[in-house]
Amino acid sequence: MTAEIIPASAGEAVTAAAPGSRADRLVSYARRADGSDESFPLIVIRGATDGPTVALTAGIHGDEYEGPAALWKLAEAIDPARLRGTLRLVPIANPRAFAAGTRTSPVDNENLARIFPGDPAGTLSHRLAYALMHSVVESADILIDSHSGGVRLAFLPVAGFYEGGDIAPEVSARSLRIARQMGLDHLWLLPPVTGVLSHEAARRGIAVCGAEIGGRGNCLREDADNYLGAYLSVLAHNGMIDAAHKRVETTSCLEGDWEQAPDAGYLETLVVLGDRVRAGQPVAVLHDSLGRTVREFRAASDGIVMAVRHLNSVGPADLATCVVKETTR
Ligand SMILES: [Zn+2]
């Protein structure tokens, strides 16, 4: 299918598809000096009957591939004639970072996951954030933003939601409901980080799930398939596709954040993903360039290893360990 480039400012991209059809677009969000366009891919699938609008984004970080692979599979799996509502899929939200295979943009070094809602007069990444928020996400009912551990990390399958802070209680409740409907291994109470797409969307009243699966710089088929099953489950739970796609809702909830490396060095990890560890158990050791122990990381409490470092070299403030507590929702 040949995609055409259309300007995001026109706001036409998201209404491009006629009822019961799919439209593929490259949405322009900036113009280069030579007159060519910077664009991101958008697949709109409009059901034959009205229903919720769901935005699904992936590839906000350019070295995460599970989400993009799953969104392409989703686009193939959905029959527009039998869909109720509309899907807006952005499989590669950060094309420049994707092309470079990097987490951040090689153009302006911005982390796209920290600058939403963006700025139409800012750097390339700020303009991209603005276009994604205003042309795709802001007018949706539900947002699922799919991430992974990228090159550096590996993550358990977790469906993140927000609660409290500046997120309205009613929006928090809807965010938890969507996360549960994903049917992944665990829920994850997301830290409220300013500039993250899902957080800024929740502040605007959208029911959001920010998810993580896998990483290690590649994409396992089982991880992409897990995401696909999660998307189909949410669509089924919300009456948009056949109820047979519903997964059992997740009740296990992980709460906690990661521990950062105090300095650069070589990180030796002593546990594997999903390990259940006891308080005080050694989980990683940071070495300097002479091999000396700089820091030994121990679990602060009993918990589960939600993420591990895959790339052994670390910089200051990089994730070193991630042992979180398990509760039930
Ligand atoms: Zn990410």
Domain region containing 296: 257-328
- Cα–ligand 1 centroid distance for 212 (angstroms): 8
pLDDT of residue 155: 97
The answer, yes or no, to whether residue 10 has pLDDT greater than 60, is no
Q: Which of 230, 253, 276 is the last residue of a domain?
A: 253
Q: Which of 253, 279, 311 is the last residue of a domain?
A: 253
222 and 265 in a common domain: no
308 and 203 in a common domain: no
- Cα–ligand 1 centroid distance for 153 (angstroms): 10
Could you read off the pLDDT of 42-98 as tens digits, one per residue? 999 999 999 999 999 999 999 999 999 999 999 999 999 999 999 999 999 999 999
- Cα–ligand 1 centroid distance for 270 (angstroms): 24
144 and 118 in a common domain: yes
What secondary structure does DSSP assign to 28-88, as a single string? EEEE-TTSPEEEEEEEEEE-SEEEEEEEEEE-SSTT--HHHHHHHHHHHH--GGG-EEEEE
Classify residue 302 by burial, with Cβ atoms within 10 Å: 0-12, 13-18, 19+.
middle
Q: What is the mean pLDDT of residues 297-321?
A: 96
The answer, yes or no, to whether residue 101 has pLDDT greater than 70, is yes
- Cα–ligand 1 centroid distance for 56 (angstroms): 14
Q: What is the mean pLDDT of residues 277-304?
A: 97
322 and 221 in a common domain: no
Give residues with Cβ within 8 angstroms of 34, minimum separation 6: none
CA distance 7 to 245: 35
| Mean pLDDT score of the chain | 95
**How many structural domains does the chain have?**
2
Ligand 1 is an ion; residues with CB less than 5 A from it: 61, 64, 147
Greater confidence, 14 or 310? 310
The domain spanning residue 302 has which CATH number? 2.40.50.100
pLDDT of residue 9: 52
176 and 82 in a common domain: yes
The domain spanning residue 142 has which CATH number? 3.40.630.10
- Cα–ligand 1 centroid distance for 59 (angstroms): 7
Q: What's the number of CA atoms in the CB half-sphere (13 Å) around residue 273?
A: 16
324 and 176 in a common domain: no
319 and 211 in a common domain: no
- Cα–ligand 1 centroid distance for 3 (angstroms): 26
CA distance 46 to 137: 15
pLDDT of residue 16: 75
pTM above 0.75, yes or no: yes
- Cα–ligand 1 centroid distance for 292 (angstroms): 32
281 and 156 in a common domain: no
Q: Which of 62, 52, 226, 197 lies closest to 132 in space, CA to CA?
A: 197
Q: Which of 202, 226, 253 is the last residue of a domain?
A: 253
DSSP code of 232? H
- Cα–ligand 1 centroid distance for 147 (angstroms): 4
26 and 107 in a common domain: yes
- Vertex 289, ends 100 and 63: CA angle to 5°? 15
